[in-house]
Chains A and B, each alone.
Chain A
Amino acid sequence: MVFSYNWLQSFFQKRLPKPEKMAEILTMHFAEVEECYPVKYSRGEFKRVQKFSIGRGNDFILDIDIRPNRAGDCFSHIGIAREISAITGLKLKKQDIKIKEDKNLKTKDFVSVEVRDKKACPRYTARVITDVKVGPSPKWLKERLEICGLRSINNIVDITNYVMLEMGQPLHAFDSEKIENSVKKNKKIIVRFAKKGEKIITLDGEKYDLYNDVLVIADEKKPLAIAGIKGGKSAEIDLKTKTIIIESANFNPKVIRFGSKMIDLKTDASVRFEHGIDPNLTEYAINRAVYLVQKIAGGKITKGLTDVYPKKNLAKKIKLDLNYIKNLLGLKIPNTEIVNILKRLDFKAKTGSTKIDVVVPTFRIDVSLPEDLIEEIGRIYGYEKIPFVFPVAALTPPQKNLDIFWEELTKDFLKELGFTEVYNYSFISQKDAENFNYNNKELIEIENPISSDFQYLRPTLIINLLKNIDKNYKNFKEIKIFELGKVFNKTFKEKKMLSGAITGNDFYFAKGIIDSLFQKIGIANVWYDEYHPTPEMSKNSMWHPKKCAEIKLNSEEIGFLGEISQQIKIPRTIVFDIDFEKLSKLASEEQEYKPLSRYPAAIRDIAILVPFNVKVEEVLNVIYNVGGPLIRDVDLFDIYQGEELPEGKKNLAFHIIYQAEDRTLSSEEIDNLQGKIIRSLEENLEWQVRK
């Protein structure tokens, strides 16, 4: 919100610090001054200039980021002036609003107010001025509005806006003649919620449909204004207006916020009301307004204030523990200083030996707790005065977060294997969902997505990884990437997955990576099961029909490994997808050293011709079963399928490593065992060991 330096100066007798200095002071003790720059009035508007020059129409703008808690009292020049006074100690000038009422005209003869919902409108004050002369505003008034970005309309409307900028209370002026009523002369103003189907044309000529939850100011027949948001055309002030009714009311912040959202209209008034304003302010503001009207537009102020204020807003009292101030800030501030600060902020403060009794001014709607007061004291005194003190705490070591431990270990492991870690957004598009055959009912949809690219929460990490492959393939041919992050759907809500994508290598390469990973994090007995999708599922599956497998531990599936189907237009890619939450639960740091045998190992090779559809595992099972504990390892070193071989056959070649833990195996013993293995393999008539 922008503020005029000259206007702020007008509240003080003494000179304020220079604008840049003021900006710094406010930033350090109140709220951030985002910008401070000189402006010059020329040809009807204020323009930003490079350098300030002395003279009329020259000013500085302070653009202050007022936080929502201080909107109630600081969306106004007087609010900022009060802050400056509290920080610098400069005294504010006394403002005297002495209005001259006409004894012969009584307000109650001109206007009556009916508030139908006291919660929606805690206070409604009105005053009447007769015989005003509507016309252009004086130059000083125009300038003050324009520097704050408001357009000058006429003297009456400008005064209501001026008082809003000065005091923070939005006002509204009605042309009394235009209010329709049954009783002559006395106009009735009704504060009520809109009726179904009601419409209003606002001052700027826009038409709005009103809803039941929108509060309006109405006469007996129609809405005159959208309460707290914008005035209507029907009772607009024009050059012929003679008698005006000024409204200074207080509205429920929630009602205004809701109404403003409903009709999608935000105004200077609605922003102030929705943050909440002190109801006691209406009276000061209306008096200030009529004072200015009389001074500028003439007219007679009728006697008396129409005021519907059933429940008065009383000052809050807070007991402030002196010890708590010291404890919370970590700094002892002298009691006299504390009291001084509070007084400069318009609080009443009385010190006892251990506490201060504080009375909060009603305009400080944000202050209700001792902590709120401590903030006031701390920031005015200066946070820079608080020392740096390390806390005294028990020497308890932090808990080890095992999830994070395994996460980091896994990331490092994959990095060692040449993988690069990507972070993708947690979203996919509708098109992604369709392309990868995801059921919309399972997906979690965003009600207000950033764009259609981010419509659903990702149900898998794979989709975005494949997009990474596609995007990077023009620069890199061999890609190995992974991501460890959350996936989402309606069943499990969210869970952590580990997925990787590989190009330029085959299925077995990826399988080897996974085996090594499981070994690294101490999970044994992982096996691969064939994937049998239902025909429906396989039709649009992203997986290659054969080159994929479920990764299992005992009977539980903990992941999936496979080649991406050629239907998906992407370079040949192998993907692994592992439930990381299961993984990190099963992971173990325990690792036991297996003694090295002191006896030599012997290697024998076996080549076997088998039908093409025999799995390596079937052959391995036979070898291990027969060989027993004397086989330390079997290593498949070749799979061959070629023209020289009989039709439908393939050749598998193994190194078998024999070793005993307690003796040197004789070559006789080994030959016997090898022979036994060969005989067992050949029990299957279609299998033929090549000699």
Chain B
Amino acid sequence: MAKIKTQIKKTRFRKREKSKIFFNGRLKNKIQGEIEKAKDLKELNEIFDKYLGKRGQISQILKSLKNLPKEKKARIGKETNELKKLLQGKIEQKKSDFALQIKKDKEEWFDITVPGKKPNLGHLNPLTYVKRKVEEIFQSMGFSVIEGPEIENEWYNFDALNIPKEHPARDMWDTLWLKDEKEKLLLRTHTSPVQVRYMEKNNPPLRIVAPGNVYRHEATDPSHEFQLLQLEGLMIGENVSVANFKAIIQEFLIRFFNKDVKIRLRPDFFPFTEPSFDVSMSCFICEGKGCQVCKSTGWLEVAGAGMVHPNVLKNSGILPKKYNSSGWQGWAFGFGLDRLAMMKYKINDIRLFRSGDLRFLIQF
């Protein structure tokens, strides 16, 4: 198609060439214009071929000179040759402009789609983030953060917490015992000993949370672990009630999950609290409608809690309420930070936290 068009153009040109042949001035402007407008090397070459090539218009003119009278031949010949030179110069100039432009384009060319270079960032264990968040929320409600030892004796881990020796209630905590110690020692099975240690040294009213490692003699699987991070809470005052506990724990969960969750208490048993509760919250994923996470119940168990048993207060040197006399009362709770982290980040295997696997850790 393109070929046919050129053919037609050429024929037209031949028809007009005689009448236009002497209008070099106009031709010059025309060609110069075309050179100016040329967008790339290819177009420039086309222009060259069209006018200066073997079969180009100017070459044709020069060829046709032999038919002209001598005088005219010399004049037109000269003019045409000058024109040829001028145009050749122009084209060369344009060519080198193009070359420069290409070089410049090449140098300046920039690809914004290349992936960004990631800085070598560090990461904290997700349990650290969860622990911080929890501590921060409770601190904002006036609770101090307290720590205690991981190696405990039977008094603080059991007896003081109203869990007598040789009572089946002790079976609720499968304990890791230490060998060959003068005193019978163990790895604390819960953070509750911190309650007793703190109350021994501080007078009510008091508000604390105590985070830390706890250990259980337990087989592990995706939802069981023998070493856990737990958080204990304790509030003691003159009239600290179950109603207060409900408000504080619900407020905490709302702030932690940033969702309008509801809590509910069910009866439970712990030797160190009376009454004792199991604390559940409405499933923050399905909002109580029932889903896989909450096993279609609409509720997730989050903590164990209760009103501190008067024996625990006594064992910690604090006067409990008695009939017709003043004294102290309050509540305590405990929950697993591992479980909270699993819920928050939708982690399906509790063992990942202590796997040391960087592929897991660098996601946080």
Contacts and interface: CB of A to CB of B under 8 A. Distances in A.
B172 interface: yes
A622 B283 CA distance: 69
B243 A467 contact: no
> In the complex, which of the residues B121, B176, B217, B275 has the most CB atoms of chain A within 10 Å of its own CB atom?
B275
A454 B218 CA distance: 12
Contacts, number: 235
Given A257-B168, A370-B323, A391 B244 contact: yes
Interface string A496-539: 00000000000000000000000000000000000000000000
B150 A426 contact: yes
Given A328-B241, A330-B241, A398-B145, A391 B269 contact: no
Interface stretch (B9-17, B101-109, B177-185): B177-185
A421 B361 CA distance: 8
Contacts of B274: 369, 371-372, 374-375
Nearest to B218: A450
Given A30-B267, A391-B240, A420-B122, A396 B142 contact: yes
Nearest to A372: B274
B235 interface: yes
A561 to B, nearest CB: 19
Contact of A68 (B168, B181, B218, B307): B168
A446 interface: yes
Contacts of B266: 27-28, 32, 383
A444 interface: yes
Nearest to A467: B356
Interface in B313-333: 321, 323-324, 329
B358 A71 contact: no
A488 interface: yes
A394 B251 CA distance: 19
Interface string B212-228: 01010111100000110
A494 interface: yes
A383 B264 contact: yes
A67 to B, nearest CB: 3
A544 interface: no
A449 B180 CA distance: 14
A95 interface: no
Contacts of B147: 401, 403-404
A378 B125 contact: no
B241 A371 contact: no
Contact of A383 (B142, B146, B227, B277): B277
A374 B267 contact: no
Given A68-B269, A446-B176, A404 B135 contact: yes
Interface string B150-177: 1100000000000000111101100011
Contacts of B276: 375
A621 interface: no
Interface stretch (A3-11, A128-136, A469-477): A469-477
Given A319-B323, A328-B307, A415-B122, 11 more contacts: A30-B267, A69-B271, A383-B265, A386-B265, A388-B246, A389-B244, A398-B207, A399-B144, A401-B145, A420-B358, A486-B150
27 contacts: A32-B268, A68-B167, A68-B269, A319-B323, A327-B239, A327-B321, A330-B242, A330-B243, A330-B244, A370-B323, A371-B275, A371-B307, A375-B267, A389-B241, A389-B247, A393-B207, A399-B144, A415-B124, A416-B122, A418-B122, A420-B122, A422-B125, A424-B356, A425-B227, A445-B179, A448-B176, A480-B122
Interface of A: 27-32, 67-71, 253-254, 257-258, 274-275, 319, 321, 324, 327-331, 355, 369-372, 374-375, 378-379, 383-384, 386-399, 401, 403-404, 408, 411-412, 414-426, 444-450, 454, 457, 464, 467-468, 471-472, 475-476, 478-481, 485-486, 488, 493-494
Please provide the 4 A-B residue pairs with the shortest distance between their CB atoms, ordered closest to farther: A330-B243, A330-B241, A375-B275, A67-B269
